[in-house]
Structure 1
Amino acid sequence: MLTKPFFSVVIPLYNKEKYIEATLLSVLNQTFKNFEIIIINDGSQDNSIAIVQALNDPRIKLCSIENQGVSFARNLGIKNARSNYIALLDADDQWYPYHLQTMHDLIVDFPNKGLYCSRYEFVFKNIISKKSKLKDIPDLYRGPITDFFSSNLFDPIIHTSATVIPKHIFSEVNFFDTNLKSGQDTYLWIQIALKHDVVISNAISSKFIKYANSLSKSQHTKGRIFILDKFKKQEENNSAFHKYMDMNRYAIALDYKIHNQQALSHSIYKAINKKNLNSKQKWLYGLPSLFIKHLYKLKNSLDHIGVFFHLYR
């Protein structure tokens, strides 16, 4: 009988031939060795499968399916996992060698929690990096987050590739929603954080690698609208959660304004409690859409040369 691994690393794979080898090597080179890797090849049309097979490591389990989307692929990997802890990883992100050891120690020190995460950094052109900035959580803090939604108002606390979730939690929240084309990860985090403690490490142990300089696309925003009205009852009794959801409304309203869908933008903006917005956010939304678009392009260009600023923090 095979020994159950401590972690099951679940990687959805779709046309990532340029990145998947580096991603997998970052897993295979972990100092903590007790893991399996489950790759769900979601109908790739490039050379991704051959690259995975060339690594020829017995810990890698490869399953190929017709393209059904990232949520379906993740769910299938989770359901086939042999371990009690699911470490999520996207096929173009990477871990530092101590990531799984960091997550293992976090689980041992803070058992029976809903979600475990490490800090992460953004990497631009594989050279310039920026660590995530979290509200009211000191860089050296390690443990349960006192107010998850209040602390989630700067950079997101949770990045998919820096996350470990007990397998039974996925069953509790019905896995990733396959009907959502975007925002499915945020939807899952919210469901977990409303019911369970989220624990964070003080270590930066994963890299979110940004390869392209592009604006978000409004068609990908549609899935996020579904989330906005899903938790109205919980918002009524939790001011921090209400503000967090208003920040999501604001981001979506801006996205629609940038893409000249003014009616949708204004209807979402109207639903925001304006007390949850600061003066800079209100000013930015009042600008012409073309000017907002130029500001985002400028921000993206500056990110890629190591100059970082937030448009509406």
Structure 2
Amino acid sequence: MQSQVSFSVVISTYNRAHLVSRAIKSVLSQGYSNLEIIVVDDASSDDTAEIIRENFPKIRYIRQESNQGPGPARDRGIREASNQWVVILDDDDELLPKALLKVEESMCLQGLLTTSRIFPVIQFAHSNGSIPDQFKILTIEDYFRGDVLGDFVPVINRMHYISCGFTYPRVRIGGEHMLWWKIAKQYGIPTWNIVITKVHEDAPIRLTSPQNQISRAAEYARLQETTLEEFGVELLSKYPKLYYVKLLGAATYYLLAREKTKARKYLKKAWQFRPTTNAGLLWLLSYMPELIVHKLFVLYRRKGGV
């Protein structure tokens, strides 16, 4: 089909040779003209390179010299892209049929190809994502209120994103929200409640699994800490409930990471801000054996806790 928009699809991957092929095939099956596919391999130690070169010789394959995490890999792909609009696709997910056509049609209907107002990023829903409206230009308040549920697929306006100096956070887990909060605060993010990707759960290691969160608890704790450093003042003044959740989050993950002194520092802040049963229970847990703390965390997550 003849298209009005040129897309580059960037897929960052690390040791998921058995999954990334599915993501690539989902892009190739779009039947979309003006399309570039870039796979950024974050220094995999499996046979990712061989599989891609043998089965997908026409796509662009870029290998990072060292493993740096998904953020730098995605930014590398954005910098290397040839087209104006860059779709960021996870290696364990897949584009649904006609996804790129839906993106193009939505952009045209909202006049984003001709408007004088330029946005660094627009986004569409993953199969687990939703907003209350069919379309909305999201502000940071929409995120803080919890109106943005699940995950969304970013479509980067490449030159504007780069010229504004935006980059993915240099954390290895779940730091994307800080980038979207910054962009939403400064520019707003046009967002459609249109699902264009399917989220799979067949990766051997899921970031949201309790076992992974325990094994990487120090990274999760630092993520909560970084969020508080960058947005704590604004959260405290406008959304104190979310501020309190971040305090307890930092304390919980530091407990799981066996850093009880740091955990108690955040528990003291939480207790001084709002003395609650949750803060009190976490304080008691800070004096219990690590095995008990880990088992209670897994039980809590299995019962639906977040």
Q: TM-score range by the shorter chain?
A: 0.7 to 0.9
Rounded Cα–Cα distance in structure 1 between residues aligned with 2:281 and 2:49: 45
Q: What is the TM-score with the length of structure 1 in the denominator? A: 0.75
Equivalent residue runs for 1:199-278 within 5 Å: 199-210=190-201, 211=203, 212=205, 213=209, 214-216=211-213, 217-221=216-220, 223-224=222-223, 225-235=225-235, 239-240=238-239, 243-272=241-270
Which secondary structure state, in structure 2, belongs to the residue aligned with residue 92 of structure 1? coil
Partner of 2:143: 149
Q: Secondary structure at the match of 2:199?
A: strand
The match for 1:297 is: 298
Instruction: Please state how far the C-alpha of 1:295 moved relative to its aligned partner.
Output: 4.7
Q: What is the Cα deviation at residue 191 of structure 1? A: 1.5
**CA 1:284–1:84: 2 relative to 1, 3 Å:** farther
Aligned-pair CA distance for 1:287 = 6.5
Shift of 1:87: 0.9
1:115 matches 2:102 = no
Q: How does 1:124-143 map to 2 (within 5 A)?
A: 131-132=128-129, 137-138=131-132, 141-143=134-136
Greater helix content: 2
% identity of equivalent residues: 21
**Which of 176, 181, 186 is the aligned partner of 1:190?**
181
CA deviations 1:103-161 (Å, max 9, x no partner) are: 3233333423343222223xxxxxxxxx34x5xx43x63222363223437844x44xx
Cα separation, partners in 2 of 1:189 and 1:100, compared to 1, 3 Å? same
> Residue 33 and residue 57 in structure 1: after superposition, are their counterparts in 2 closer, same or farther (change >3 A)?
farther
Task: Provide the C-alpha distance between the structure 1 equivalents of 2:274 and 2:121, rounded to a whole number of angstroms.
Answer: 27
Where relative contact order (Cα < 8 A, 6+ residues apart) is larger, the structure is 1
Q: CA deviation at 1:15?
A: 1.5
1:114 and 1:193 in contact (8 A); partners too: no
Which of residues 149, 164, 175 is equivalent to 1:172? 164
Q: State the distance in 2 between where 1:95 and 1:280 align.
A: 44
Provide the rounded CA distance (Å) in 1 between the counterparts of 2:95 and 2:293: 34
SS in 1 for 2:53: helix
* Structure 1 residues 58-73: aligned runs within 5 Å: 58=58, 60-69=59-68, 70-73=70-73
Aligned-residue offset at 1:74: 1.7
> Which residue in the other structure is 1:56 paired with?
56
Residue 78 of structure 1: CA displacement? 0.8
Which amino acid in structure 1 is aligned with residue 161 of structure 2?
Answer: I
Q: Verify the 8 A CA contact 1:9 1:86 in the aligned structure 2.
A: yes
How many residues were matched structurally?
282
Deviations 1:250-270 (A, max 9, x none): 323222223332221222244
**Whole-Å separation in 1 of the counterparts to 2:283 and 2:60:** 51
Paired amino acid for 2:256: I
2-structure distance, mates of 1:47, 1:165: 29
